[in-house]
Amino acid sequence: MFTRTIRLLEAGLKPVYVFDGKPPDLKSQELAKRYSKRAEATEDLNQAIESGNKEEIEKFSKRTVKVTKQHNEDCKRLLRLMGVPVVEAPSEAEAQCAALCKSGKVYAVASEDMDSLTFGAPRFLRHLMDPSSKKIPVMEFEVSKVLEELNLTMDQFIDLCILCGCDYCDSIRGIGSQTALKLIRQHGSIENILENINKERYQIPDDWPYEGARRLFKEPLVFADDEQLEIKWSAPDEEGLLTFLVNENGFNSDRITKAIEKIKAAKNKSSQGRLESFFKPVVSTSVPVKRKETAEKDGKGTSNKKPKAGGGRKKK
């Protein structure tokens, strides 16, 4: 995070970091699933260590990583010492990011969570914080173009995302992304779909809380006024950074000193840069969803991936 943030600052960009607050009650089931998967991965990791399988050890080690409260607090402290603003959202970070973008306080939302679009972020960036060594192009989505290519309203797009699978409720078994898109175009809303769907072919979960999920996407808990949001960039706290990174965490003193000089030089620039100064636009290889509606084959199960749409631009 330290070096990648410096890269953004050197390019003249002004990042704002948003951290999750208390998760919504509807997310408890999803969090329980994640905990269970992490426990299973821990067992698999122990078996891989016993067998000495390096490939399996690496794979399952990644699946056991858990971001703790202390990790988050350390990140917040580091960013503040760098003079970079930190926002602690009252609930979902993606929802707060979308609200900041809607209000014009930031240019775009950078995240790997596609729910940012479902929360209505006007512009959404993926892979912005990937290491430069990976050479993965940054993709920019504009929600207006996504809706245009899918030929949906925002309300229909939210229902589509719920059908495809979200953090707040289960999806309907047997309905994947293409079938969900077909049903939304045909019936317009989840309510109309439920009235016309073949109940024998598609089993609807008991007490399916899709209405609550929809409400969370449309009316999320976010900070909206300037008194609740303190977005200010300041000079780096040199002494604080050296204390935190060198004395407390054992980083090389010369390396951190040079990094601080880079931060100071970047912040002395007269104006904020544009995203295009950091990434060169390249021709998009994304393909819009075809208008022709095709149902999925039976037995495909559910998909947590939302349909791809035009409106995504690659930058590198």
Q: What is the CA radius of gyration of the chain?
A: 22
Which is it for strands 138-142 and 312-315: parallel, antiparallel or unpaired?
antiparallel
Residue 104 to residue 133: CA distance in whole angstroms: 32
pLDDT of 300 higher than 60? no
Q: Note the pLDDT of residue 218.
A: 97
Q: Note the pLDDT of residue 245.
A: 96
Residue 183 to residue 248: CA distance in whole angstroms: 56
pLDDT of 312 higher than 60? no
- Apex CA 291: angle with CA 200 and CA 138, to 5°? 105
- For residues 82 and 207, the answer to whether their CB atoms sit within 8 Å is no
Number of structural domains in the chain: 1
Alpha-carbon distance values, 167 to 163, 200, 212, 313 (Å): 11, 25, 12, 26
With cut-offs at 50, 70 and 90, classify the pLDDT of residue 314: very low
Whether residue 61 lies inside any domain: the answer is: no
- For residues 170 and 205, the answer to whether their CB atoms sit within 8 Å is yes
With cut-offs at 50, 70 and 90, classify the pLDDT of residue 100: very high
Q: Note the pLDDT of residue 214.
A: 96
Whether residue 60 lies inside any domain: the answer is: no
Domain ranges, residue 6: 2-16+84-309
With cut-offs at 50, 70 and 90, classify the pLDDT of residue 162: very high
Q: Note the pLDDT of residue 290.
A: 40
Q: pLDDT by residue (tens digit) across 21-50?
A: 999 988 877 667 666 766 777 777 788 788
With cut-offs at 50, 70 and 90, classify the pLDDT of residue 299: very low
Predicted structure pTM score: 0.77
Q: Note the pLDDT of residue 294.
A: 32
Whether residue 48 lies inside any domain: the answer is: no
Q: pLDDT by residue (tens digit) across 231-275?
A: 889 999 999 999 999 999 999 999 999 999 999 999 887 455 555
Q: Note the pLDDT of residue 88.
A: 94
Which is it for strands 86-88 and 17-19: parallel, antiparallel or unpaired?
parallel
With cut-offs at 50, 70 and 90, classify the pLDDT of residue 106: very high
pLDDT of 160 higher than 90? yes
What is the average pLDDT value for the chain, to the nearest integer? 83
pLDDT of 227 higher than 90? no
Whether residue 106 lies inside any domain: the answer is: yes
Whether residue 115 lies inside any domain: the answer is: yes
Q: pLDDT by residue (tens digit) across 205-214?
A: 888 999 999 9
Whether residue 238 lies inside any domain: the answer is: yes
With cut-offs at 50, 70 and 90, classify the pLDDT of residue 60: low
Q: Note the pLDDT of residue 274.
A: 54
Q: pLDDT by residue (tens digit) across 184-207?
A: 999 999 999 999 998 888 888 888
Whether residue 7 lies inside any domain: the answer is: yes
Q: 36 exposed, middle or buried (CB, 10 Å; 0-12, 13-18, 19+)?
A: exposed
Mean pLDDT of 5-23: 93
Which is it for strands 123-126 and 86-88: parallel, antiparallel or unpaired?
unpaired
Whether residue 57 lies inside any domain: the answer is: no
The dihedral through the CA atoms of 37, 42, 45, 47 has a sign that is negative
Q: Note the pLDDT of residue 92.
A: 96
Alpha-carbon distance values, 316 to 9, 36, 117, 168, 261 (Å): 17, 37, 21, 33, 26
